Structure 1
């Protein structure tokens, strides 16, 4: 017959087995749960029992109320953590400056949980021979994790990083993420960067594929973006659903030989039917491009191709994927002409046209005037902006008479109107002197006054000569020398 003490021990042992089975098997088989024990199962520290860890069941250990590395090592040692027979460990209410992942004590663990603690940093990397399949690091106040801490865990299939203060996410094991069931929970990290989350989604997540990372508690998963990055108007807290849209965009972002553009959601825009569309911003700046990308993602409204070697803008007029562009930044390129934009849908609806520091020689203001006039219909043309500075136009009479005054009259639209220069003259277009560059063609009416004056002078001289000859004939009786040498006419014989 068992004694009362033996009965108590047996009852505790059976109860521990039941708890272990429930906690480790009670969840969905596709979503493995890490071994997790309640606070009631923490060891009681007494004068005879100073170990802060104790065995629950056969292969599991729980440690509680640890305040230093010394207490942790002491407790793990007395519970034989690190031996092959201990495969699950749960640390609760632990206060440490850091948690070292590269400890040989974790080598035989299949499940490791560190929860409801204060552990701000995880350092080093779990070893390649570790057996971990489940890692629960939730609710610890984590704010710093080595980015490669998990990369050597080939069997990891569940990761819980929820309820922490992480700003970035660690890399996942390359082997593990290719299995059909890998689960991760990153919910309730209020400081999580959208850039980090979107990078993980674009690399590992595909909602249509079974061999993909599965994100748990998506409705509680949010991220934040820098104030300088204008996603979704002025919203700073972005939901998981919206970030998955960005991951889809990344898959169709322009790529080519030697370059990869980056694509991000720009903002939510509504239609008359109440349907909201996520518009896209594409950044291809400084990618050594010689031409515009051949294709853009649907609903691309913002395109930055600055600091390249692009020479023409033909795609804006002929490529359907450019139909929604409203913001075009093409500064510091080698664009030579704007005539290809005439009649394009872009000129009917653009908000910004950035062409600063290109090779534009002539400025067809009639094309740009159409857009300015369009905005004037709404009583405000400040809604659009154009940059043309540092282009060197070939300045002639038309430039001084048309382009100069167009720039001055639209200086609220052309924000750098005073930086447009002349190629053939060392001066600004707005300072052109019309008298210097315009050779006014004079018609015949300009010379009539000179002709009339000359005729009057000749007539006066003729009258003077005749009068003088008449006076000489009367006074001296002979004709002037020219008249005396003239042959006689028949009429002269009659008068003789």
Structure 2
């Protein structure tokens, strides 16, 4: 109860100047909503008591005891009612005893369902049904109907329940109203978004704004999921939708969403994710929303990444998805802020013919960034086997699909290239040098052998063999005659 009391503390009126009473009114009324703490519960065996001429407080009652007590203690002057810890299967709000109330509170109990409808021209300005385990599934008829005639309502506290249906009829009226729906995490975000539209933003105030969450439906083809987000997300989304319409080329209808909040320079900055996939783009989009950190342009006909280097709106980009496009190389990323800071680049199923490793090598000196390139068919030559293949193997942990990078012409994966497949060079005369040298050595040996044989025959038989005898005399023959 201390938490409930504190919620209304800021609305406390100035102290009364009247003479003190046994139950001072200043302690009983906190702003427009009449609310009491458990310490003021009746102690004389009764379940309800009158705390001032216009206010009644009840504790620990069921449906029968509540009707019985109110029939006795309520008068035509009673305008304020607070029931604490009521156990009621069906609360019928159409009862005549509620007609004259301006403040009605049933808190911290267990109410099975709300039935009926508040009477026409009801005077209720504040309705507090917080912390009662209320569920939209048990509200028959739906939640809109019981409150249909509450034209004077300015405060609705339905916090800490299990509601999954939003009281749109209340917040879409042309009057100022404060609503506390915190603690109902599965209320649809789309209903909050409607309540926060421009024509209502100045009329509707969400109490406990930072503690109010909603359910955001997410669909991935056949798969459906629900994410619980703080309703601040919806305000951010509305601002993003305006920025999204400024993306060029015009009218490509990209979608933008808050990626996360990040503390930058002692300020909380909202980081943005942009989805321009399947938009028939022929070039990269420009003029992205401020602080765009993620961009998806997959399934387009983009041929160049030059905008990543040239457009200032890419300054904070960290995650880039350009799968299934017509990009031929990544050399345009050289020297860009993106290549120095990216966390993920996925460029699968494009038209890459070669990978300029020097563009990425400096980045891969640091740990963290991931690169996906599978589904590309490269022109493979000796340089691919000598440079690219070792680079892929060295960085295999940060290139998870390195085995899916293929060579054109059905030559297989790049990492499976063999030197003999791609490293060929034309032969010249130097390729035969060893054969020539071998032949010259053989001729020299034969020549020396022949000369030695002829000299031996001449010394032993006194004549020269026929081939040597027929050879013409040379100037140096006199050396052999001595």
Give the alignment's TM-score, normalised by structure 1.
0.60
Question: Hey, what's the Cα distance between the residues in 2 that align with 1:100 and 1:340?
Answer: 69
Specify the SS of the correspondent of 2:363: helix
Paired position in structure 1 for 2:107: 115
RMSD (Å) for aligned C-alpha atoms: 5.3
Q: How many pairs does the alignment contain? A: 395
Question: Hey, what's the Cα distance between the residues in 2 that align with 1:84 and 1:149?
Answer: 28
Question: Hey, what's the Cα distance between the residues in 2 that align with 1:63 and 1:112?
Answer: 12
Paired position in structure 2 for 1:176: 171
Which of these residues, 318, 341, 350, is aligned with residue 349 of structure 1? 341
Question: Hey, what's the Cα distance between the residues in 1 that align with 2:51 and 2:373?
Answer: 74
Specify the SS of the correspondent of 1:95: strand
Change (3 A) 1:394 1:175: farther
Question: Hey, what's the Cα distance between the residues in 2 that align with 1:125 and 1:398?
Answer: 82
Alpha-carbon displacement from aligned partner over 1:279-325 (angstroms, at most 9, x marks no partner): 40415276656465543332232x15175436254432232221111
Specify the SS of the correspondent of 1:362: coil
C-alpha displacement of 1:278:
1.8
Question: Hey, what's the Cα distance between the residues in 1 that align with 2:121 and 2:138?
Answer: 17
Specify the SS of the correspondent of 2:415: helix
Change (3 A) 1:449 1:425: same
C-alpha displacement of 1:183:
1.4
Is 1:282–2:273 an aligned residue pair? yes
Which of these residues, 209, 213, 227, is aligned with residue 204 of structure 2? 213
Change (3 A) 1:209 1:129: closer
Change (3 A) 1:444 1:270: same
Change (3 A) 1:448 1:71: same
Paired residues for 1:121-270 under 5 Å: 131=122, 133-140=125-132, 149-150=143-144, 153=148, 155=151, 156-162=153-159, 164=160, 170-173=165-168, 176-177=171-172, 179=174, 181-186=176-181, 189=183, 192=185, 204-205=195-196, 211-217=202-208, 221=211, 246=236, 250-252=240-242, 254-255=244-245, 259=253, 261-270=255-264
**Contact in 2 for aligned 1:184/1:213 (Cα 8 Å):** yes
Question: Hey, what's the Cα distance between the residues in 2 that align with 1:329 and 1:308?
Answer: 10
Uncovered stretches (5+) of structure 2, i.e. residues with no partner? 1-20, 217-227, 441-465, 467-482
C-alpha displacement of 1:429:
1.2
C-alpha displacement of 1:263:
1.9
**Contact in 1 for aligned 2:295/2:317 (Cα 8 Å):** no
C-alpha displacement of 1:384:
1.8
Q: Where is the strand percentage greater, Structure 1 or Structure 2?
A: 2
Specify the SS of the correspondent of 2:393: helix
Specify the SS of the correspondent of 1:159: strand
Is 1:339–2:331 an aligned residue pair? yes
Change (3 A) 1:238 1:411: same
Uncovered stretches (5+) of structure 1, i.e. residues with no partner? 1-14, 28-32, 47-51, 227-236, 456-470, 472-496
Question: Hey, what's the Cα distance between the residues in 2 that align with 1:335 and 1:130?
Answer: 68
Paired position in structure 1 for 2:407: 422
Which of these residues, 425, 434, 437, is aligned with residue 419 of structure 2? 434
Give the alignment's TM-score, normalised by structure 2.
0.61
Between 408-417 and 173-182, report the one with greater CA deviation: 173-182
**Contact in 2 for aligned 1:180/1:210 (Cα 8 Å):** no
Question: Hey, what's the Cα distance between the residues in 2 that align with 1:211 and 1:56?
Answer: 36
